[in-house]
């Protein structure tokens, strides 16, 4: 009887630990924050970003997650708040954060076509 109570208590403690860990992981990755450094000028719809480091994140993670917020690395300046659509990349073992660029005429800055957060095959495509 006493041993059974100890086993049940230990199982409860382990279960609480597992639930707390998974809730923390989901909360910290909820908006899929990613930092990118560009060595040259790039374009997003309605804005041109000079070379530098920028933070990409989902602005509305609790809903359809179709709005992307682009800020400076320290988040002191907002560069873009863009409506996007879902885009997929091929599944592979290496799902690092990525940016894809669209085609542009010679002499113009490349356009950011889509952003893929770490560990995700689904990303967000910018609408031009």
- In three-state secondary structure terms, 82 is strand
Reported as a single tens digit per residue, the pLDDT across 94-122 is 899 999 999 999 999 999 999 999 999 99
> Same domain, yes or no, for 73 and 106?
yes
The pTM of the full predicted model, rounded to 2 decimals, is: 0.74
Q: CA-CA distance, 24 to 26, in Å (whole number)?
A: 5
Number of domains present in the structure of the chain:
2
User: Residue 65 belongs to what domain range?
Assistant: 31-126
22/44 same-domain check: no
Q: Are residues 21 and 56 in the same domain?
A: no
pLDDT at 11: 36
Torsion of CA 14, 15, 19, 20, to 10 degrees: -40
Please indicate, yes or no, whether residues 7 and 65 belong to a single structural domain of this protein. no
- 49 and 20 in one domain? no
pLDDT at 8 over 90: no
Residues 48, 86 within the same domain: yes
Other C-beta atoms within 10 Å of 45: how many? 13
Whether 70 and 116 share a structural domain: yes
Phi, psi at residue 15, to the nearest 5°? -60, -40
18 and 48 within one domain: no
Task: Give per-residue pLDDT as tens, 48-87.
Answer: 999 999 999 999 988 888 999 999 999 999 999 999 999 9
Q: How far apart are CA 36 and CA 54, in angstroms?
A: 5
| 3-class DSSP assignment, residue 95 | coil
Same domain, 65 and 24: no
């Amino acid at each position: 009887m006493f041993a059974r109570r100890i086993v049940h208590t230990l199982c409860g403690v382990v279960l609480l630990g597992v639930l707390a860990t998974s809730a923390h992981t989901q909360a910290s990755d909820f908006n899929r924050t990613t930092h990118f450094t560009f060595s040259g000028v790039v374009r997003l719809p309605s804005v041109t970003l000079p070379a530098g480091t920028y933070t990409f994140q989902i602005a509305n993670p609790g809903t359809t997650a179709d709005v992307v917020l682009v800020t400076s690395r320290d988040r002191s300046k907002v560069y873009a708040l863009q409506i996007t659509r879902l885009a997929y990349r091929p599944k592979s073992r290496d799902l690092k954060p990525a940016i894809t660029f669209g085609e542009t005429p010679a002499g113009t800055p490349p356009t950011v076509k889509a952003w893929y957060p770490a560990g995700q095959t689904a990303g967000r495509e910018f609408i031009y």
